[in-house]
Amino acid sequence: MTTPLPPPKKKDPVERTRQPTQPPGNRSREAQGLTAMAAVGRFALQTCAACGQVQYPPRQVCGQCLGDDLPWQDVDPNGVLLAETKLHHANDLFFRDRVPWRLGVVGMDAGPSVVAHLAEDCRQGDRVKLSLNLDRSGHAVMNARPEKPGPNQEDDMQLRELSMDPKDRRVLIVNGKTELGLALARAFQTAGAREIFVGHGEPWKASASLEAIRAMDGVTLFPLDVTDTDSVEELASVLGGKVEILVNNSYHLRPGGAVDRMDMNVSREEMDIHYFGLLRLAGTFGPAMRGRGADSAHGACAWVNVLSAYAQINNPAFGTYSASQAAARSLAQCLRAEMAAGGVRVLNAYTGPLDDEWHQMVPPPKLAPDMVAGRIISALQNGHEDLAIGAVAEEIAERLAENPKEIEREIKL
């Protein structure tokens, strides 16, 4: 059984906050293939096209037949724990702060033997399930857990160092005036968040979602308008030292493109909310969160951006919206690099059309807010960083990987 997670304690005011360090981050170009798989939550290894041998660690030519066509394929993640050990000393600063640390060798059913981080309740000879997760440096590592989940499995301290589990963490949801805002508040509460802060702007406009959030326990509302630098600065001065997961779900969709609907005001509003809004949040909440990346087992761990799948490929029916989302996506990549120094991970969740009034004219499939919120929680728990939610977003990701020109011509989804 896994030791239950100790509840968060109030901070000792005379003790120095543990400074964030990073686990070793150097990887070969081939090994970054693992990062790509872990980022989207796949368990895939190179598999030789000629002889079928599954490869680990990643390499340029097949270890068996020297074939050089080694595509990444999903493989069976199960195996047997062949050996286990406990590290009591490390020269690496990240592990030095966290010893003892359990490691083991897993003989995979798929063939290779891999060195993996071990969950507390794995014993030599046990059947285990491997997963590929991004660690605090943003690189893929192998984790082994019991094949059948044990009690409190999510409380495992080693895994918690690697994941972004909302349990016992304080969450800021930027916009409580949408159905997604409400769904996120409910999902984080179910996931065991310690406190939930919810922002809301333009108080003269009523919102049923906000009223439903107001009625929830453990949720506090704060005025927040991402288009207003003062407002963002003010809230960061109140909450900056508390927020451990920030979810930027700012959303402003207006149909129209550049030629068919030339409207500078609408386009500027989209940029102001999606791009400058993220920039304002990053500049104010970012430094405080990055400084608290290693502040106990409950430190700051994640920044979630809810983005449109059209950030990756412009949908001309929502042309300027897509462009503003692309700008936000680019900035999110900058944020990811800057926050990495503190071990705070940036999760980009790409959604297809939501089932809301601004997608009234778009045919299904459309996403229910609860589903989007649920997928975000699960991506945090499992340490992913690029999440395609729903059929449209998944299809876009797939077709972009296959042939970007094809989807550019056919996007009228």
Nearer to another protein, 234 or 395 (CB): 234
212 touches 269 (CB < 8 A): no
CB of 268 to another protein, least distance (A): 8
Count CB-CB contacts under 10 A for residue 381. Answer: 17
| Secondary structure of 271-295 in HEC code, one letter for each residue | HHHHHHHHHHHHHHHHHHHHHCCCC
Nearer to another protein, 357 or 402 (CB): 357
CB of 205 to another protein, least distance (A): 7
Tell me the chain's radius of gyration from C-alpha atoms.
22
CA distance 142 to 134: 9
Beta bridge partners of 195: 170
CB of 227 to another protein, least distance (A): 7
CA–CA distances in Å: residue 389 to residues 58, 124, 324, 359:
28, 37, 19, 16
Map tokens 């070793």 to a residue.
24
Map tokens 């409580």 to a residue.
176
Indicate the DSSP class of residue 65: T
CB of 79 to another protein, least distance (A): 55
CA–CA distances in Å: residue 108 to residues 45, 63, 81, 103, 358:
12, 16, 9, 15, 48
Strands 195-200 and 140-146, how do they pair?
Answer: unpaired
The closest of 239, 257, 256, 255 to 247, measured between CA atoms, is 239
Nearer to another protein, 109 or 228 (CB): 228
CB of 230 to another protein, least distance (A): 5
CA distance 262 to 215: 41
CA distance 365 to 351: 12
Structure tokens at 336: 């990811």
Nearer to another protein, 42 or 214 (CB): 214
Nearer to another protein, 83 or 208 (CB): 208
CB of 234 to another protein, least distance (A): 10
CB of 75 to another protein, least distance (A): 49
Nearer to another protein, 74 or 263 (CB): 263
CA distance 137 to 222: 32
Nearer to another protein, 171 or 279 (CB): 279
CB of 266 to another protein, least distance (A): 7
Nearer to another protein, 202 or 410 (CB): 202
Q: Which residues bind another protein (CB under 8 A)?
A: 202-206, 223, 225, 227-231, 254, 263, 265-266, 269
